[in-house]
Every structure is written in C-alpha cells, then in structure tokens.
Amino acid sequence: MKNIEKSDQNNTWALREDDMLITPGRSAMKCTQCLWPKAENGMVVVPYSFSSNYSDWELNLLKTTFEEYETLTCVRLMPRTTEKDFLNIMSSQGCVAYLGGIGGGQMVGLDSAGCMYRGIIQHEINHALGFYHEHTRSDRDDYVTIMYQYISPGVVSNFNKANSNNLGLEYGPMMHYDNYAFGNTSGQPTIVPKPDPNVPIGQKDGISPLDMSKINKLYQCDVCTNLLNNNSGSLTSANYPSAYPNNASCVWLIRTPSQQVALNFVAFDVQSSPNCMSDYIRIYNGPTKNYPLLLDRTCGTGLIPPIIGSTNQLLVEFSSDSSVTGVGFKAVYSTVQCGGTFYMPQGSFTSPGYPNNYGPYLNCVYTIAAPAGKTISLSFSDFHLEDSPFCIYDNIRWLDGTVSRGPFCGDRNPFVIKTKSNTMKLTFRSDGFNQKTGFTASYTFV
C-alpha cells in the first residue's frame, strides 16, 4: 500500500517489508504459540490500548474498524483492563506492527498523519494476528511476477519469500502491497499479477471475503459469516430452497463499493412464533450489531418490503432455535444513490447533501412502515425545493397505503403529513436545474 510506504519512509525502527517490526527468530504463520489464545467460548480476545493523542474522529474510526472483526470472525479486539499481553496502539510511529503476538504491551503504529484508513488499520492488525504480506508468502510466484530489474538492490530483501502457512487459500488483496512498491523506475511495476496483470492489488477498503476466510481458518473460528462486497449480488439461508438447519446463527455483511445498499427479499419463510422469539431475521443500518436496527426480529411467511440502508454497508442477521424450521429466505441486493427504509417507531432523514443543495436528477424513495393498527405522522422542519407551476420539476409525492398524494414543492415550513394507513412511500425527484437545500424530516408512529 502506497500510504504505508510513504508514512514509514522516515521511520527509525528496524523494519521488514516497510511495516513489520523485526522480532528475531520468528515465523508467526507457522508458530502456533505466536497466535493470540482462544478462550473457552471460542473467542480470540485481543486487548488494546490507545495513546492519548488520537482525535475523537480517529478513535471512532479505529473502534468501528475493529468491530468488523467481531462481525466477521471470532477475533474480539477489546479495550485493555488489566491484561498483561495487549496491543499498545500509538499515533506517532508510522504504520507498523510486529508479526503475531509477542507478549507484553506490543506496539502497533497507526499514525494519525498517514494510517487513518480502514484497510491500513486492518492491515497492521492482521500482522499482529500473525499474517505476512501476500507478496512474500511461499507460493507467491504462482500468483505474481516480481520485477527485480525495477527494484534497487538495497530493498530487494523486502521481496524475500517467507516460510509461511498459506492455509490452503488463494492469494488475498488486503495484505498485499501495490504494483509499484519499492520501485526505482517511474511507471514500471515491481509486482505484476498473473495471468491477468490488470488485477488490482493493494487496497485499503477493508477486510475482503478472502481475508475473512484466512483469519477464521488460522484461528479455527466456528462462525457463520459472509461478506458480500460487489455492486450487486444475492444471499440465501443455508440449504435454500430446502429447509434451513436448527441452531443456526449467521450474518451477512453487505459492503458495496459506493452509494447505498438496497436489499429486496424475493422469498421468505421463517418459522413463525410470538414476537419472533424462535427463528428470526434482523437487519442493521451499518456493519455491526452496534448500529441502529432497520428491521427488528421478523419471521413468518410474508415478504419483507424493500430495505434501503443509509450507507454502503448493511448487516443481515439470521438465527434459528432447536426445533421447527422453514424453507428460509432469498434476497438480492444492489445500490441506489439515495433513499431509506424505516420500520422503527420513530426516525428522521434528509434530502441528499442537506443542508447543502441536493443534486440533479435524483429519484429517492423513502419507505416508512408501521405495525398494523398504527398510522404515521411525518413532519418537515425545513423544506426548500425548486418552485414551479404544478411542481413539475423538483417535488415530493407519497403513497398513503395505496392513495397517491402530491406533488409538493417550493418553501413549506413547517409541513406535516398524517397518514390514514400504516405505510407511507415518499418519493423525492429533482431535474437538472435549480437545486435548493432540500428538506429534513422526522416521523413517529401514532
């Protein structure tokens, strides 16, 4: 990763491959005592402490990045209390880490100036968990060609192959340096993937499906986790369209490259029970269970209305008990540029970019669904759309159940909508001209 190489160029630590602190006589990938210990509950607890000079924004990024391990693996990065062995995470030492657990308060450098990216943070944590760089693993020549003619003699050692345990898994992206790492000739790559030289390597977006599999295999994690990171795809319960197993506990993290996740269920048959206490599905508006729920415990056979998250990440959780199953579910996901879905008793949303002007050519759909017998009260505390005769340009419309209302535009403050049904589908559209600040809205079930 170019950011790591740049951040560490003035570092005075003894480093291998630019970001691994040297511990003599160690090969962590084949050194079982160098792995962090597993507790009786199957979790691998890795305590950590932060240096005092991280900003609130940086601390939040670090903590939310650590939470991805909890979602996708059996590794639990936890704040240190009295543990003797822990990660001492420091903000002024470049992007560096020791390989595997070395005991005591082992330093991990995550510099505020150059390391504050989700993928870089996880890259260094993965070193501390016991992972080499991909371009030095023992079978790397099956996947890449090292162009030694473009590497200065003084840094060739950074490409020495390690005596690594490759876990029987393919080459992965997050622990890889980029194509031009340690190069001495502008425009000439030092690492060329094969057979396709255009395959991207060295990313900083975060854990990939293959990275997740490697952590779970190295630490023998007994977890059912799935990471979906394409623009579109599908997910199903185990054995679908046959019955799912008892005692299932699985999650699917959808992380699209950009925009917002839109999830649509095309089949749904989960054992029905009072308050869905037996088998159920939950959907969170973010990458971990610490994020707000978009959909709480849901079961039965009725199709779930479309779900739109507020970001490019959505977490789906499925759980079954020890008796009675159903066929399960199938869902497809894609991306949209705006919109949202709301099933909780109260919430809020804004037009894209608010309080700045919304963009041109938007088509945003906001769906609010209350329980049967409830209605919805939606209030706009700020409402500024381009005005026009009959609101033919920028406008909002909504469906009250099946009854259409609108369009509305211009300046309306305050603006309150009360439905007669338990569902509302609000659509916001803009044309290519004269954008305004848009709106901010909040709702409650009545």
DSSP 8-class letter at 186: T
CA distances from 332 to 231, 303, 413 (A): 11, 13, 38
What are the catalytic residues?
124
Residue 273: CA count within 13 A, CB half-sphere? 16
3-state class (DSSP) for residue 259: coil
Which residue type occupies 137?
Answer: R
Q: Distance between CA atoms of 148 and 185, rounded to whole angstroms? A: 11
Tokens found for residue 22: 């040297």
Q: Distance between CA atoms of 94 and 96, rounded to whole angstroms? A: 6
DSSP 8-class letter at 114: T
Helices (H), 197-245: 209-218
Burial, 219: exposed, middle or buried (Cβ in 10 Å; 0-12, 13-18, 19+)? buried
Q: Distance between CA atoms of 90 and 97, rounded to whole angstroms? A: 10
The candidate with the shortest Cα–Cα distance to 227, out of 246, 247, 203, 251, is 251
The candidate with the shortest Cα–Cα distance to 441, out of 349, 358, 353, is 349
Per the document, the length of the chain is: 446
Q: Distance between CA atoms of 223 and 216, rounded to whole angstroms? A: 8
Report the run of H or E that residue 215 belongs to, with start and end: helix 209-218
Q: Would you say 273 and 260 are in contact if contact means Cβ atoms under 8 Å apart?
A: no
Number of neighbouring beta carbons within 10 Å of residue 50: 18
3-state secondary structure 364-386: EEEEEECCCCCCEEEEEEEEECC
